[in-house]
Amino acid sequence: MSHQSDALPKGFLAESLGRIKPSPTIAVSQRARDLKAQGKDVIGLGAGEPDFDTPDNIKEAAIAAIRRGETKYTAVEGIPELRAAVARKFKRENGLDYKPSQCFVSPGGKNIIYNAMTATLNKGDEVIVVAPYWVSYPDIVLLSGAQPVIIETSLEDGFRLTPNALDKAITRKTKWLIFNQPSNPTGACYTREQLKALTDVLLKHPHVWVLTDDMYEHLVYGGFEFSTIAQVEPELYHRTLTTNGVSKAYAMTGWRIGYCGGPEPLIKAMAKLQSQSASNATSISQWASVEALDGPQGFIPKFQRAFEERRDLVVSMLNQASGIECPTPEGAFYVYPSIRKLIGKKSPSGHEIATDSKGNLYIAQTTAGLQKLTFKGMSPASR
């Protein structure tokens, strides 16, 4: 047996790794899994994951693909059938004309964003990210050696980016705006008019590209109508990457399929990168995703209704807890309560609530009826 230490030699790890932190949502989800494995009664609300099962027609399509022997490498960009289904989806649901050659498939929506950023960013480039943001955006940018530029939004503005704040944040170095709505974690959504006000700003800055993360487009409530940037301002089509995936809308988080539509040279660059990393998304998941996008869509409104009922329950419970203010999110499946009125106060167990992360822990432990829940929106994991 070797007596050598298994510590890594100094300087062994890439410097880029030192710039990022492990995904906090993945960490909190693992903690919930570990507690469950110990027999604890825990509901993990860390990662954004529908608790519904993948619909049967989608599972059957995957089983049929296995039986047909669709178990080999595929084209890097995705099987032609899925790229065509993605193009149809963009036309049908977003009024966007993308040819299949402009559509690209990757193992998960996160990997689409990773590919787009890694294929385009250089040291010194800036990427605008709207806070509160999904945890991965700044770290994906940092991995490329570029600089995330964070625009803060407020509860009073409904956590929406304002045209003025966007205009001010753009510099010569800005390469991308990452724009996510419905937002993880605030649930903020933008009407066509609100989007138009932002696209007017972008039209003034022809060097800025937009990555729209439309992952939650189907999870909107109260009759809200989703629109996406390239649809609202066709002049931005040539510098927009419209990204999406099957994870949330079709309860397929574990299948790992994300997709996007955009200018062909960018798609080719992303494919070049993926050809030297993941190669292709899983063949079986790709066939399941063809069925998800082309098959019956009737379960989406059912998922929506269930999420809306839960949202209303959770928001009303949080607002009954003294000191907590929780706006009603218009989309996605998160809540983003403010505990600012509790900062400096003592929890029932006598601990001072000094920061939002400490405060959230005590509140999660002590708020009547909520003891078992760890709210994504209440933890720094969602910042």
Ligand X SMILES: Cc1ncc(COP(=O)(O)O)c(C=O)c1O
The contact set with ligand X (CB under 6 A) reads 48, 108-110, 134, 180, 184, 213, 215, 245, 247, 253, 258
Task: Report in angstroms how near the CB of residue 202 gets to ligand X at its nearest.
Answer: 20
Q: Which is nearer to ligand X, 206 or 254 (CB)?
A: 254
Q: Which is nearer to ligand X, 253 or 286 (CB)?
A: 253
Tokens at 136, concatenated: 């991965």
Do residues 81 and 289 touch, judged by C-beta distance below 8 A? Answer: no
Task: Report in angstroms how near the CB of residue 331 gets to ligand X at its nearest.
Answer: 11
- How many whole angstroms separate alpha carbon 35 and alpha carbon 289? 32
Centre a 10 Å sphere on the Cβ of residue 367 and count the other Cβ atoms it contains. Answer: 20
Q: Which is nearer to ligand X, 98 or 259 (CB)?
A: 259
Comparing every residue's Cβ against ligand X, the nearest one is: 108
Task: Report in angstroms how near the CB of residue 332 gets to ligand X at its nearest.
Answer: 7
Nearest to 229 by CA among 242, 219, 238, 217: 242
C-alpha count within 13 angstroms, C-beta hemisphere, residue 225: 9
Task: Report in angstroms how near the CB of residue 256 gets to ligand X at its nearest.
Answer: 7
Q: Where are the beta strands (DSSP E) in 246-293?
A: 258-261
Task: Report in angstroms how near the CB of residue 369 gets to ligand X at its nearest.
Answer: 26
Q: Which is nearer to ligand X, 113 or 324 (CB)?
A: 113
Tokens at 230, concatenated: 């390239």
Task: Report in angstroms how near the CB of residue 2 gets to ligand X at its nearest.
Answer: 39
Task: Report in angstroms how near the CB of residue 134 gets to ligand X at its nearest.
Answer: 4
Q: Which is nearer to ligand X, 108 or 261 (CB)?
A: 108
Q: Which is nearer to ligand X, 116 or 363 (CB)?
A: 116
Q: Which is nearer to ligand X, 85 or 353 (CB)?
A: 85
Residues 6+ apart with CB under 8 A from 129: 137, 138, 141, 148, 149, 150, 151, 178
Do residues 242 and 214 touch, judged by C-beta distance below 8 A? Answer: yes
Task: Report in angstroms how near the CB of residue 255 gets to ligand X at its nearest.
Answer: 9
Q: Which is nearer to ligand X, 244 or 367 (CB)?
A: 244
Q: Which is nearer to ligand X, 49 or 325 (CB)?
A: 49
Q: Where are the beta strands (DSSP E) in 172-318?
A: 174-180, 209-213, 240-245, 258-261
Q: How far, in Å, are 131, 209, 232, 254 from residue 199 at the CA level?
A: 19, 11, 8, 34
Tokens at 193, concatenated: 């008019």
Report the alpha-carbon angle 208-213-215, nearest 5.
170
The owner of tokens 């649809």 is 231
- How many whole angstroms separate alpha carbon 275 and alpha carbon 76? 6
The burial class, CB within 10 Å (0-12 / 13-18 / 19+), for 152 is: exposed
Task: Report in angstroms how near the CB of residue 178 gets to ligand X at its nearest.
Answer: 10
